[in-house]
Amino acid sequence: MTETTAKQQRKALFAERLRTARKAKRWSQPDMVAHLATGLTRSAAAKWELPHETAEPDYATLVRLAEILDTTVAYLLGLTDRLAPERPIANVYPVEAMRQVPVLGAIAAGQPILAVEEAEETLMLPADLLPGRDVFALRVCGDSMIEEQIYDGALALIEQTPTVPDQTIAAVLVDDEATLKTVRYLDDHVVLLPANPAYRAMIYRPDEVRILGKLRLVVQQRG
């Protein structure tokens, strides 16, 4: 599966889930926009339900959508098939349903930058959004992954693993500096691909890089 195809499939799934949740409420798209109450235009919201469009809501808007549609972020992202939340209020979680995720520092969506492997803060997230137990977050710096909707200032949630499949977005350590890129294995080299035509691919020998983990979720930060 190519990087473009994977991204298209993720967007198509989100579009289908959003449409299903909206129709379950018996709402039109204008009804959903009115309840969302963020100043979003109807045309912008309509693009969310079109699988060929790249437009997607940021994380804060995604949480708000789940709340007004009486579902969960996990359902909208395709992480569960359960439309109705298990809790009376979709995105208000009891303490035992939350997990602390350490934010270990910064990661470049651009050229590699130093990764500080000490928790500078912690992030509380619903446990059912997170894979396994070995999860950490790194703050994104730069714009090399913008075509994957990964923006400067976002928090990248990484599932710690020493290897990832070909064409996976991952956190990679290069000479003690971390970067977030799509990993490709070509011949005897590891290629780190950006998602911004302004940046070039970076090519390394396998012994020059260390996989930190696989990208599982992006939490966009709103200014």
**Active site members:** 144, 181
- Two tokens at 104? 């270990």
Residues 6+ apart with CB under 8 A from 188: 205, 206
Q: What is the Cα gyration radius of the chain?
A: 18
Round to whole Å and give the CA distance between 62 and 106: 24
Contact predicate 72/66, CB 8 Å: yes
Q: Strand 155-160 and strand 209-219: pairing?
A: antiparallel
* Residue 92: exposure state from Cβ atoms within 10 A (0-12, 13-18, ≥19): exposed
Strand, coil or helix: 153:
coil
How far apart CA 151 and CA 220 sit, in angstroms, is 7
Spatial distance between the Cα atoms of 172 and 184, rounded to a whole number of angstroms: 12
Geometric angle at alpha carbon 140, from 40 and 103, rounded to 5°: 105
Element (H, E) at 16: helix 3-24
Which of 127, 17, 20 has its CA nearest to residue 78?
A: 17
